[in-house]
Amino acid sequence: MKFIKQLLIYIFVCATLTGFAQTEPQSDKTSSQNADTCVHISEIVVTGLTGNIQNRYSPIPVNVISSEAIQTLSYTNIIDAIAKYPGISQITTGGGISKPVIRGMGYNRVLVVNDGIRQEGQQWGDEHGVEVDGESVGSVEVIKGPASLMYGSDAMAGVIILHDAPILSEGKMKLDLLGGYQSNANLWNYSLDFAGNQKGFVWDARWSQKHAGEYSNKINGKVFNSQFGEQGFKGMLGVNKNWGHSYLKFSYYHLKPGIVEGEEQEEENAEEPEAPFQHIHHYKVVSENLFLLDKGLIRALVSYQQNRRQEYEEPEECGLDFQLHSVNYDVRYVTPNWSGWVSNFGINGMWQESINRGTEFLIPAYGLFDIGAFATTSKSFFNKLHISGGLRFDTRMLHSYALVYDGVNRFADFSRVFPGLSGSVGLSYEVLPNMDVRVNVARGFRAPNVSELGSNGEHEGTLRYEIGNQHLKSENSWQFDVGLDFVSKIVSARLSLFASLIGHYIFLEKTGATVEEMPVYQYQQGDARLLGGEATVVLHLIHHLHFENSFSYVNAQQLHQTPDSRYLPFTPAPRWLSTLHYDIPLNSRVVRNLYVEAQVDCNLTQNNVRIANDTETKTPSYTLLNASAGVDFHVKGRRVLSLHLTAQNILNRAYQSHLSRLKEVGIYDMGRNFGVKVLMPLAFSTK
């Protein structure tokens, strides 16, 4: 009852504040697309479920974020760009590192797919982000709920698919210049992209660079050692023929972030992070091939990734040093339409080898191999009922290598095998021409990672000593999803509810002990239950004016526990987001797509925390006021410049996100921040 009362108060406050902001409405070509997602939902094709399927017919909720929408945002990384969508959150470490969270679950329970294959780094770590240049992402597809059918272990919470920009049509070339600046941390970035398609030969090459100083807020002032620098290169060469296509993709990503430990600023602000800091390098090569057959098609991918993560406690002294080699493979056959049934059959998996090259150790060196086979199918009946589902079986084999260092047994030699069965069945039914109902039941699977099984050491980036548990079992989940979509000329609405029961849920618990003044955490296991959902209502008040409201809520508990150990850590607080945006109609050949937007971001109090051994503390509520505007300039009918302005936390509110890792050392989130982004697209045609 207390929660409902608090929720009603916040809804009233948000609505009132948004009413005051009506002089700064919004929307552009991209904002309108965002607002009208429900209206145009049947036109969007999603790929991460059982193959290509219209979003309207998907039995589980999928968010599709267009490239135009991403271009309007000011963000520090690609996860930061999508974290305001319903059901999506981020665990942050300062301004430069974000880990995705879907419906209260993150880390190895969220799978990131980039270039068609799973992105493999050190995603088990709290301060380990996603090693992808955000400017290279064309669009984003977010699947909520167990998606193990197509991807195997680690997709228990969902999948974030980072799509490339579409291949240009024959005879086209383009050169894109992008630049951006954010005031709070003196962040600047630029990106240069050159792509083309000439007689079936296609290419795309991009270079990006970013640098940010220390961010600030009115409580801590400049946050010491929160600087970061980033560089990224991505290239693609390939051919498009009548038999299909073959692409070779390659990329390099480098991030140098400082490690924030809550210390006071002692000297003038440095341009580069001081020790402790990290160097993260990620290299990737992908061969993507598609072969069109008389009956169906074959898709084959193989990739190699190398991830190198180094932590420096002194400028020239590397402590932790992980080097991870990964080979991923994926081969699948898509059938033609057989009496209305469209099916996928495939095999995919991964080989990994991890090496410790440093003088300090946290996880053991290990070897891993997994393989999974799957089959999915879908069919429509009477153009009203759409059924989809499938089965998958996985086997993951892991061997951890022993290590004796300075006469101390740091890691034991052990091997584990984790079989897993996944499956789902769901339907979408058109109750009325403007109303659809969705129902889905899914079983997910996740094998424990090497950090959970074998870690034993001081983790400098998280200020704690971590101990693994070799006896952990695989997590398995049953999740039930139900949804309702409604579309009219005035109202577009989507309601998505879920209930998930996870057996052998793995979590990191504070023990109360210390090692060299560092708190000791150990991995434990138990059954968990998650309930929640998202609701989105878009009011199309008048032509060009849209008022969008979304609410997200997750209640995550461990079963059979005492009250102080009941709630799972790092569960996002309830969140209400209200956005009023307006397309300003212009009859101009030069100025087009002018929009303005006002947004109120209300985060409610998070009282559902794990109190045992001071694992977490409660987080008070806070409300942020944001605004943005944008415009395109055209010459002779061609867009030559796009300008986007943003203002975040306009009132300079001092706040701490419940999912901020710096909250426990007394660091607040970023204060007022103004941003500008400029895009200059230059297109050419040889026809």
SS (H, E, C) 330-399: EEEEECCCECCEEEEEEEEEEEEEEEECCCCCCCCCEEEEEEEEEEEEEEEECCCEEEEEEEEEEEEEEE
Contacts of 145 (CB under 8 A, 6+ apart): 60, 61, 103, 157, 158, 440, 442, 479, 481, 498
Rounded Cα gap, residues 207 and 194, in angstroms: 9
> What span, in angstroms and rounded, lies between the C-alpha atoms of 15 and 206?
42
DSSP string, 81-136: HHTTSTTEEEEEETTTEEEEEETTB-GGGEEEEETTEE--S-TTSTT------GGG
Alpha-carbon distance of 391 to 66, in angstroms, equals 30
Whether residue 48 has pLDDT greater than 60: no
Query: Range of 228's domain?
Result: 2-685
Asked if residue 669 has pLDDT above 80, the reply is yes
Distance CA 627, CA 389 (A): 42
Q: Which of these, 293, 261, 291, 294, lies nearest to 275 by C-alpha position?
A: 261
For residue 420, the model assigns a pLDDT of 92
Q: 577-606: per-residue pLDDT in tens?
A: 999 999 999 888 899 999 999 999 999 999
Ramachandran sector of residue 355 (left: φ over 0; alpha: ψ -120 to 50; beta: rest): beta
How far, in Å, CA of 233 to CA of 254, rounded? 9
The number of beta carbons lying within 10 Å of the beta carbon of residue 560 is 9
Determine the Cα–Cα distance for residues 464 and 645; give it in Å rounded to an integer: 40
What is the per-residue pLDDT for 22? 32
User: Contact at 8 Å (CB) between 195 and 682?
Assistant: no
Number of domains in the chain: 1
Tell me if 249 sits within 8 A of 206, measured CB to CB.
Answer: no
% of the chain beyond a pLDDT of 70: 91
DSSP state of 315: T
The pLDDT of residue 626 is: 97
Cα(524)–Cα(86) distance, integer angstroms = 30
Number of DSSP helices (H) and strands (E) in the chain, helices first: 6, 37
Cβ count within 10 A of residue 530: 22
Query: Using one digit for the tens of pLDDT, what is the confidence trace for 542-559?
Result: 888 999 999 999 999 999
The pLDDT of residue 27 is above 50: no
Helix (H, G, I), strand (E, B) or coil at 613: helix
Q: Is pLDDT of 125 > 90?
A: no
Average pLDDT over residues 37-56: 54
**CATH code of the domain containing 359:** 2.40.170.20
Q: Report yes or no: 196 and 174 within 8 Å, Cβ to Cβ.
A: yes
Residues 267, 675: Cα–Cα separation, whole Å: 27
What is the predicted pLDDT for the residue at 50? 56
